Amino acid sequence: MRKFLSGLTIAAVTLAPAAALAHPGHGEHSGFIQGFLHPIGGLDHLLAMVTVGILAYQIGGRALWLVPSAFLAVMAAGGLLGFAGVSFYFVEPSIAVSVVVLGALVALAVKPAVTIAMGLVALFAVFHGYAHGIEAPLAGSTAAYGAGFLAATALLHAAGVAFGTLVGRISERHSQVGYRLAGSAVAVAGLVILTRAVI
């Protein structure tokens, strides 16, 4: 276990710089393809959105579609705030915290009530959406760009649910070890990203 955690920390430190690619001030974005690539290009977005899917699977039942749907809906609203140029504070640290918290929930195999899970992911989704929206193209279609990052997010949630199915099967056979390992990996990466965001 110690060797695994050491390797996990090294991997997180190595991959964390990729998170910067998905946030304000990094590159020109326009159109559907750029919007689609935006969530995939940032490690923090990617981890959070996949983990939302894993958490939804872990809770089960209506959470399978309600939790990702809540994230998508509120992320769209956050994107509109970014498009409008509304000032937001602590965006980067909040996104990093979302990765830590979501990873911890999965690692601890916490199964909150569906409404609580929806509220929690919705809170995080505001910041993720804002980070996407603030980079809307100055020229070109912001609607296409928004549709792109929403489509990518939906696919990442679906990937998380699929991965959650695999993790769930491993956990059934080995006393929740699959959730613990997957959630711990996400939480450690989130802590590294958070450290970089606040330093």
Strand ranges inside the chain, DSSP E: none
Task: Kindly state whether residue 119 falls inside one of the protein's structural domains.
Answer: yes
pLDDT in tens, the chain (199 residues): 444 334 333 333 333 444 434 444 444 445 899 899 989 988 999 999 999 999 999 999 999 999 999 999 999 999 999 999 898 889 999 999 999 999 999 999 889 999 999 999 999 999 999 999 998 877 668 889 999 999 999 999 999 999 988 877 776 666 677 788 889 999 999 999 999 888 7
Report the alpha-carbon distance of residue 4 to residue 10 in Å, rounded.
Answer: 10
Task: Kindly state whether residue 24 falls inside one of the protein's structural domains.
Answer: no
In 3-state terms, what secondary structure has residue 105? helix
Q: Tokens 């509109």 label which residue?
A: 80
Residue 171's pLDDT is 62
pTM of the model: 0.81
Q: How many domains does the chain have?
A: 1
Residue 136 is given by DSSP the state: -
What range does the domain containing 126 cover?
30-198
Task: Kindly state whether residue 115 falls inside one of the protein's structural domains.
Answer: yes
Task: Kindly state whether residue 8 falls inside one of the protein's structural domains.
Answer: no
Report the alpha-carbon distance of residue 18 to residue 37 in Å, rounded.
Answer: 13
Report the alpha-carbon distance of residue 152 to residue 178 in Å, rounded.
Answer: 25
Residue 90 is given by DSSP the state: S
Task: Kindly state whether residue 13 falls inside one of the protein's structural domains.
Answer: no
**Are residues 16 and 193 in contact, defined by beta-carbon separation less than 8 angstroms?**
yes
DSSP string, 145-194: HHHHHHHHHHHHHHHHHHHHHHHHHHHHHTTTHHHHHHHHHHHHHHHHHH
Task: Kindly state whether residue 12 falls inside one of the protein's structural domains.
Answer: no
Residue 181's pLDDT is 87
Task: Kindly state whether residue 15 falls inside one of the protein's structural domains.
Answer: no
Q: If residue 72 lies in a helix (H) or strand (E), which one and from where to where?
A: helix 63-83
Task: Kindly state whether residue 9 falls inside one of the protein's structural domains.
Answer: no
